Copies of this chain bind each other. A is one copy, B any other.
Amino acid sequence: MNFCSHCGSADLRHEVPPGDTYPRYVCGGCGTIHYENPKVVTGCLPVWEDRVLLCRRAIEPAYGRWNIPSGYLENGETVVDGALREVREEAAAEVKVSYLISLYNIERINQVYLQFVGELIDGSYGVGPESLETRLFTEAQIPWEEIAFTSSLFTLRAYFRNRRTNDHRLHRSSYPDVGEGLR
Contacts and interface: CB of A to CB of B under 8 A. Distances in A.
Interface of A: 1-8, 10, 21-22, 34-40, 72-81, 89, 99-100, 103, 105, 107-108, 110, 112, 114, 170, 172, 174
Contacts of A38: 40, 73-75, 77
Contacts of A80: 105, 172
16 contacts: A2-B5, A2-B6, A2-B7, A3-B4, A3-B5, A4-B5, A8-B10, A22-B74, A35-B72, A37-B39, A38-B77, A40-B40, A78-B105, A78-B107, A80-B105, A80-B172
Nearest to A175: B78
Interface of A: prevailing SS: loop
A75 B36 contact: yes
A116 to B, nearest CB: 10
A89 B21 CA distance: 10
User: Considering residues A8, A21, A35, A72, which has the most beta carbons from chain B within 10 angstroms of its beta carbon?
Assistant: A8
Contacts of A73: 37-38, 112
Given A22-B75, A112-B114, 8 more contacts: A2-B5, A3-B3, A37-B74, A38-B40, A38-B74, A73-B112, A103-B114, A170-B170
Contact of A100 (B2, B4, B34, B170): B170
A74 B6 CA distance: 22
A103 B72 CA distance: 17
A2 B79 CA distance: 29
A58 to B, nearest CB: 12
Nearest to A4: B3
Contacts of A36: 75
Contact of A5 (B5, B22, B35, B107): B5
A98 to B, nearest CB: 11
